Amino acid sequence: MDTLDETCDSFDIGGDLTVTRLGFGAMRLTGPNVLGEPADLARARRVLERGLELGVDFVDTADAYGPGTSERLLAEVGVPDEAVVATKGGLLRSPDGDWLRRGDPDYLQNAALCSLDRLGVDCIDLYQYHAPDPDVPIADAMAALGELKDRGLVRHVGVSNVSVDQLDRARDEVAVATVQNEYNVADRTHDGVLDVCEANDIGFIPYFPLGGGDLGSKADALEDVAAAHDATPRQVALAWLLDRSPVVLPIPGTSSVDHLEANVAAAALDLSADDVTRLD
């Protein structure tokens, strides 16, 4: 099958990290409920290896995935130097699976140091504040990440799960290279955030790009467009995201090589204006 560099255009994260726009989200390469190691480590490694073979050069992870499992797996597989690895800090994963926000500056800086160690790198390509902590001013959290950038420990800084107002306040403290919010063909809550990103050449990374397998309100339209292209509804959903804006960087995740290959093939779909109108 075609590789991504043959079918997908690129984006420059922070103006200098060029990636193909269809990346890979490594959250699913963990155990059940995003806790512990995957049941089949060899299979998880093979998914990562196959993605790299197909030209995936942007991989997104977080310290909370496992916790630590996903980052360690990336280090074990050995991502090429030319690929970009993004990770996140600011969420704790409790043993019962709760997500706990933690944004105090000392915690974030220590979390980044731990991620550096697990990833086995001297500098993290893109370090993202995973979710604003309501008990910590976002300016304080972003200033801490700005210090990491100044020290050369992270190359670019991103934010996740933010509103337009939070993004504006984050940008007052440090250059924001990317925003990662939930977004897909059926959930466009963050259209306003995407508009800000597009206007300022900030990468927009939609998580749950396939709605966790549930794109309910758009199911019929996706089925119809998919049939016309001999594709699957999920492939059409990814193609819609790539068509939505040149700053959009979808990161579909999977623990299956077959699903990975189907996701990569979505980059070759060319949606017509009529297709997009039906999906809109």
Domain range annotation of the chain: 9-214+247-253
Summarize pLDDT for 3-44 with one digit per residue, the tens: 998 889 999 999 999 999 999 999 999 999 899 999 999 999
Per DSSP, helices labelled H in 130-208 are: 138-150, 164-173, 191-199
Torsion of CA 188, 193, 194, 197, to 10 degrees: -170
What is the CATH code of the structural domain delimited by 9-214+247-253?
A: 3.20.20.100
Would you say 255 and 43 are in contact if contact means Cβ atoms under 8 Å apart? yes
Most confident range, picked from 90-94, 138-142, 216-220: 138-142
Does residue 158 contact residue 177 with C-beta atoms inside 8 Å?
yes
Catalytic residue among 65, 127, 129, 183: 65
Residue 2 is predicted with a pLDDT of 84
**pLDDT, tens only, 94-103:** 888 789 999 9
127 classed as catalytic? no
280: tokens are 């809109």
